[in-house]
Amino acid sequence: MLKELKAGFLMMVVMTVITGLAYPALITVLAQTFFHDQANGSLVVTNGQVVGSHLIGQNFSKPAYFHPRPSSAGAGYDPTATGGSNLAPTSAKLLNGTTKLDDKKNEVVDFDGIKDRVVHYAVDNGIPYESSIPLDQFKDAKGDLDDVKLIKAFNDEKSPLVFRAIDPIPADAVTASASGIDPHISPRNAELQMARVAQARAASIDQVRVLVAQHTEGRTLGILGEPHVNVLDLNLALDAQFPVRTGER
């Protein structure tokens, strides 16, 4: 019996050394030697500081920046809680959005919904639209769109708000990715945002268009997926060429 135990113990030691030490060490050396950037998270460093990753989307909301896809990852763009909304394409919540009462019994947005995102995208980017009810009725005292009012109008069973953008809005502009941290947008999405970004940076649309073209990547291996634009890389290039004041970021 001791003979069998000795053989089993030695096998455990050998396999621990091979699979627990030697193999991980070999893979680490190869990764750091031949794929250093990828092995360390494809980090983006600006002025000596890590500002993000080429692989992870982050939120940009100011007019001077290209905006990413919406996110349902955690509280939004959270790489530790990746995931989508898991709502079906026909879900009323996904389409119209929902509201809830906060701790102070104030009605707030629970889920904004695709229709609400379409309104904001069209208004923010100057896209012509048709609305069954004037949008001025859904603005707050500051003149900003009130999402709670919009969502309640979209959910009105008797006379729901009908809103349509004249120019088709790409799906990635108003829907989240499966992970919620997709760092890319479609070239069409970027194109529709050009005028807003150019105006905010006192640049011409053609100048912004050149940067977008420079940061548009083709299909993987030439056949997989669709052309795409890395939002973080593009926004950093904008900051380098057409800087904005700190308060506008």
Q: Based on the fold, state whether residues 111 and 159 are members of the same structural domain.
A: yes
Name residue, tokens 């904008």: 238
Per-10-residue mean pLDDT of the chain, 249 residues long, equals 77 86 79 64 75 88 96 90 90 96 91 96 97 95 94 96 96 94 96 97 95 92 89 95 70
Single-letter amino acid code for the residue at 237: A
At which residue do the structure tokens 């970027």 appear?
A: 190
**Same domain for 129 and 245:** no
Residues 248 and 137 in one domain: no
**Whether residue 186 is found in the same domain as residue 78:** yes
CA atoms within 13 A on the CB side of 132: 9
d(CA 229, CA 121): 18
Alpha-carbon distance values, 76 to 68, 82, 105, 172 (Å): 11, 9, 23, 16
Report the domain count for the chain: 3
62 and 96 share one domain: no
53 φ, ψ to 5°?
-135, 145
How far is residue 137's CA from residue 133's CA, in Å, rounded to a whole number? 8
**Within this chain, do residues 153 and 124 fall inside the same structural domain, yes or no?**
yes
Residue 147 and residue 91 share a domain: yes
Separation of alpha carbons 170 and 24, rounded Å: 43
| pLDDT given for residue 10 in this prediction | 83
Same domain membership, residue 144 and residue 112:
yes
Closest CA relative to residue 180, chosen from 88, 38, 55: 55
Tokens of 15: 């396999």
Structural domain containing residue 27: 2-33
